[in-house]
Amino acid sequence: MPAVPTDSLVLLTGASGYLAVHVLQQLLERGFRVRGTVRSKDKGDYLKQLLAKDGLDSKFEVAIVEDVEKPNAFDEAVKGVDAVVHTASPFHFNVSKADELIGPAVQGTLSALRAASQEPKVKRVVITASFACVVEPKEPVYTFTEKDWNNFSTQQVEEKGDDCDKSQMYRASKTLAERAAWDFVDKEKPSFDLTTIQPPLIFGPLLHQCEKPESLNTSVNNFYQFLEGNKSAEDAQTGFGSFVDVRDVAHLHVESLVKEEAGNERFLVATADTSYQPLLDLFFQHASPALKDAFPSAQKGNPGAPKPTQNVIDTSKARRVFGWAPKDPKDTVIDMAQSLSEYKKQKWT
Ligand code: NAP
């Protein structure tokens, strides 16, 4: 028995985001009906047009939720749904105060859970958490599992306040939001169960509305800066932990609704631990001449340079429960570069 039958109505929060549009597309392809929250009518219209190209728009409806931090943000949108997938949370560093990230991350999560607990039909809530909720400084080689929690970033924010490094503010926002979610389920004992997905940096093709390169989501923008030659060969050698394909992360959100055993579990997901160098090597080895021409200043780095020693992410639980295997990194890199070249040509000129 699937936890949530595949013709059910799912509330998808932040439906216009980079990851969420992939989740939306895969939910509809799987047979689910989806109510997606977006911040403006324009973002909803974009999604309807995008889905209509593949005949997927008939089971999609839009609900406007301008700010997830506002109390009771999802009380209307949740009515009649059977499950919730909560992706909406700020992932950027354009803030001066930690609360600008922590507020929407934590309050948005709690609003989604409170709303779900008032809707008796909801059987499962899936939350896009992050590897940021898990990773903290460790001596290599350490293997992270679902038992690990990031206590470092929240301590940094407590000690340094708004002088804290922005990436630690983001990591703290995700950690506090995920902690709040598990505490909510522990204390309130709602009739639904909870699944959290913990991706590291997400790469892969874009589907979402993005009118200019400055609006690119944070993770894809990191790679785009190498393609445009705005990063150095030295930057390419810096280890950044790990990455995972956006289509894999979306797939695991959808499967988390379906698999009974996914209830009340965290799942680490990752393709490979790496620096940017191996990804640039894949780009230069496999991109077509036309794709290379789209990025004439792309940073080559030092091809074949050894990877820095990094910690490891144990993804055995996701592989076992979902029968999942990560996509080939070559496809992630080439499909991401290809879609960036198309956005550049069609939308950014
Ligand atoms: P994204 O494109 O920036 O998506 C974030 C979504 O959240 C957008 O739809 C955004 O709406 C919405 N949002 C943010 N703050 C909001 C607020 N106060 N009220 C209403 N909506 C709000 O980034 P993404 O990479 O797809 O991130 C999606 C989720 O994945 C986030 O929870 C993020 O923490 C998590 N994640 C991402 C990565 C990664 O590498 N990309 C890795 C691990 C986890 P607008 O665009 O309209 O502002």
**Dihedral sign computed on CA atoms, order 93, 94, 99, 100:** negative
Q: Is the CB of 16 under 6 A from ligand 1?
A: yes
Q: Is the CB of 104 under 6 A from ligand 1?
A: yes
| Predicted pLDDT of residue 173 | 98
Helix 18-30 crosses helix 41-52 at what angle (to 10 degrees)? 50
The domain over range 9-136+144-205+242-273+314-327 is classified in CATH as 3.40.190.10:
no
Q: Which atom of ligand 1 is nearest to the CA of 20?
A: 26
| Predicted pLDDT of residue 1 | 63
Question: Can you tell me which residue has the tokens 């995008």?
Answer: 50
Distance set, CA 251 to CA 197, 258, 318 (Å): 11, 11, 11
Q: Which residues contact 85 (CB under 8 A, 6 or more apart)?
A: 10, 11, 12, 13, 23, 27, 125, 126, 127, 128, 253, 257
Q: Are 246 and 202 in contact (CB under 8 A)?
A: yes
Q: Mutate which of 12, 13, 18, 207 to test ligand 1's pocket (most atoms within 8 Å of Cβ)?
A: 18
Q: Is the CB of 198 under 6 A from ligand 1?
A: no
Q: Are 4 and 125 in contact (CB under 8 A)?
A: no
Q: Is the CB of 256 under 6 A from ligand 1?
A: no
| SS3 at position 273 | strand
Give Cα 296 distance to the centre of its chain. 29
Looking at residue 128, the DSSP 8-state letter turns out to be E
Residue nearest to atom 12 of ligand 1 (CA): 88
| Predicted pLDDT of residue 300 | 97
Q: Are 44 and 70 in contact (CB under 8 A)?
A: no
Q: Is the CB of 311 under 6 A from ligand 1?
A: no
Q: Is the CB of 18 under 6 A from ligand 1?
A: yes
| Predicted pLDDT of residue 167 | 96
Say how far apart CA 158 and CA 316 lie, in whole Å.
33
Question: Can you tell me which residue has the tokens 């785009």?
Answer: 224
Residue 97 has phi, psi (to 5 degrees) of -125, 145
Tokens at 225, concatenated:
């800066």
Q: 19 CA to middle of ligand 1, Å?
A: 8
Q: 320 CA to middle of ligand 1, Å?
A: 28
| Predicted pLDDT of residue 239 | 82
Q: What is the mean pLDDT of each run of 10 residues along the chain (349 residues)?
A: 90 98 98 98 98 97 98 97 98 96 98 97 98 94 96 97 96 98 98 97 98 97 98 91 96 98 98 89 97 98 87 96 97 98 93
Say how far apart CA 221 and CA 225 lie, in whole Å.
6
Sheet holding 60-64, edge to edge: 60-64, 33-38, 9-13, 83-86, 124-128, 193-198, 265-268
Q: Are 22 and 250 in contact (CB under 8 A)?
A: yes
Domain boundaries, the chain: 9-136+144-205+242-273+314-327
**Dihedral sign computed on CA atoms, order 130, 154, 111, 2:** positive
Tokens at 257, concatenated:
């609704």
Say how far apart CA 38 and CA 237 lie, in whole Å.
37
Q: Are 218 and 93 in contact (CB under 8 A)?
A: yes
Q: Mutate which of 87, 170, 216, 336 to test ligand 1's pocket (most atoms within 8 Å of Cβ)?
A: 87
Nearest alpha carbon to residue 60 among 69, 68, 70, 51: 51
